[in-house]
Amino acid sequence: MKTPMVVAAAVAALSMAAAGCATQAGDHAETDAPAARAKPDYRATGVIAKSLPEIAEALRLGEITAEALTADYVARIEAIDRAGPRLQSVIAVNPDALKDARASDARRAAGKPLGPLEGVPILLKDNVESADNMATTAGALALKDNVTRRDSPLVAGLRAQGAIILGKTNLSQWANFRDDLSMSGWSALGGQVKNPHMLDRNPCGSSSGSGAAVAASLAAGAVGTETNGSISCPSTVNGVVGFKPTVGLVSQQYIVPISASQDTAGPMTKTVKGAAMMLNAMATGEARSDYVAALDAGALKGARIGVARFGQVRTLRSSRSSTRR
């Protein structure tokens, strides 16, 4: 079993390959200039490219409204998740997200924000129930109409701090609890999630949709779930921060289950502080604390980091063996 951990990695600028435009019949060769072959640039810009704490601050300062921010994320999902490179990291967009964002703007205008996440759009892994008009499917056709109209406690906690539930993310079907050799990041409803940094690379783990969506700036943060590596692995390979809390700190209620002794939901976002902000809202257990206040920039001073070199050697040998075959 993978050790639960915070996986923090610098988020590289999103740059994905796309096919160039084909030259039409009859065009002269000299018109096939580099500009005509230029590939689209899918990197995020503006507020949506920022981290969750920066987005929350921009909302607080009135630099952007929750409605405009939510609309920008919905447009980006359409542009690169449903079209373009087709990341397929989002199964469903909340049809009421813009309405909820307008309500958030109204609360802020009245001087009554609910909390630090007021107006911040968050995606949920599609095994977590929410009271929105969206099914909770675990990626399976059998649950495609499973609209429960109830919030899991973690979602209620996010809403209580003002978060906007933007939609549901794709996942390994049934959170990968179906076969030892099942495809990571594939579901019958959502198709295959792609790693936004390298489209043909494994997005890893059943929370791959949440990891890819955060890396591609499709939401300020996302909720993942882990039984055995399903937050830590997609966070690692997609270059984001993921945290598996101690089991019981975040309620398992109304989440499609695997193991009562191992299952937990956790935050996935671009920075450690963003993950702490989400966990403050999601945690319901008696041991919950103020995780943002507890952050210490010097906490890792003097720490030693181990590198499993043997894993790299084994991978290299496996690659060479495959080449010989």
Q: Where are the domains of the chain?
A: 43-296
> Quick one: how many helices (H) and strands (E) in the chain?
8, 9
Which of the residues 206, 208, 235, 251 is marked catalytic? 206
pLDDT (0 to 100) of residue 4: 36
CATH topology of domain 43-296: Amidase signature (AS) enzymes (3.90.1300)
Average pLDDT over residues 28-49: 74
Active site residue 152: no
Q: Over the stretch 13-23, which tens digit does the pLDDT of each residue have?
A: 333 333 333 33
pLDDT (0 to 100) of residue 323: 36
pLDDT (0 to 100) of residue 185: 94
Which of the residues 125, 168, 270, 273 is marked catalytic? 125
Active site residue 230: yes
Contacts of 61 (CB under 8 A, 6+ apart): none
Q: Over the stretch 140-152, which tens digit does the pLDDT of each residue have?
A: 999 999 999 999 9
Residue 248, phi-psi category: left (phi > 0), alpha (psi -120 to 50), beta (remainder): left
DSSP secondary structure string for all residues of 164-212 = EEEEEE--SGGGGTT-TTPPTTEETTTEE---TTSTTS---STTHHHHH
Which of the residues 187, 230, 235, 251 is marked catalytic? 230
Q: Does residue 316 carry a pLDDT above 50? A: no
Q: Does residue 320 carry a pLDDT above 80? A: no
Q: Over the stretch 153-187, which tens digit does the pLDDT of each residue have?
A: 999 999 999 999 999 999 999 998 887 778 889 99
Percentage above 70 pLDDT, the chain: 84
Nearest to 51 by CA among 101, 104, 4, 8: 8
Active site residue 273: no
Residues 171 and 203 sit within 8 Å (Cβ to Cβ): no
What pairs with residue 226 in β-bridges?
264
pLDDT (0 to 100) of residue 32: 52
Q: What is the pTM for the complete model shown? A: 0.84
Label residue 309 by pLDDT band (50, 70, 90).
confident
